[in-house]
Structure 1
Amino acid sequence: MPFTPLHMGAGVALKAVTRNSFSLVVFGGSQIAIDIQPLVVMLTNKGELHGFSHTILGATLIGLFCGLAGKPIGELFLRLIRKPGYLPIDWRVSFGSAFIGTYSHIFIDSIMHSDVTPLSPFSTASPLYGIISIETLHVLCLAGVFVGGLAYWAVEKKCKKT
């Protein structure tokens, strides 16, 4: 299902330890952007569900776009939700967060969807498919959200005291 929040687990955990060296907003935006193509396929019944957007080449192009768009859109979003402590988003942070988002997305989807061929057009292999069970993958993603969320909360609380 497109736009699954389980993909955010890695981002939440990473944000907890990297603070302003990683943008959870840009990461989340790249998670949504990479699933636009599957959403269009689901709505139109035309095309490959996990096609070009779920390849390394596609993730790279989407990452470039999200890195460029992520800084201005992310900064606007942070202003709207009144989180000025995370401003400004550095360009390196924007691009890094976007690429971590797109590449982690195809990594996770490669494990659980047999039609994800990350090396396409050079190979139709799906080498990560089934290396762990979907249940285990979901537990790992949820653990990232909860452990990362707790760590983020603890760090935020500590930073407010100092």
Structure 2
Amino acid sequence: MITELEFVPVPPADLDRIRCNGHDDFGHRVIPRTSGAGAPLRCCLRLSREGERIALISHRPSSLGGPYAEVGPVFVHAGRCPGFAGSSFPADFLDRQAVLRPYDAAGQMLDGVLAEPGESEGELKRLFDDPAVALVQVRNVIAGCWNFSVRRRAA
């Protein structure tokens, strides 16, 4: 069974609201800074380039709710960016080790997979073979922070 997947960054409407308010949804000020290369940007799902203006905000990535709906730090562009329009695994995250956490529709974590560099795409397809999986969070191995979510594309 082939499942078409959607790769989900921080929603652009949330970022517009946060940038307009000058603080994230948890009261932390948005403080732009000049980036070095390599910060994982959760607005456009790529790594930052030297000299870009970015900010660190708090974000709750789970739209499912439940006790696993944690809040954590994410880097985003300080100003509006094109976002992520891709339909395949974000290229800058392909060759990184990652933790994949599948959740059911009630927001309960079903499993956890450590994917080695280059294996995340295949592991995602395997996880989505289980019809109980509603969402998978792709996370950083060292810091544990959320990189992006993946869900089945709505028909």
TM-score, with length taken from structure 1: 0.24
Higher RCO, 1 vs 2 (CA within 8 Å, ≥6 residues apart): 1
Structure of larger gyration radius = 1
TM-score, with length taken from structure 2: 0.25
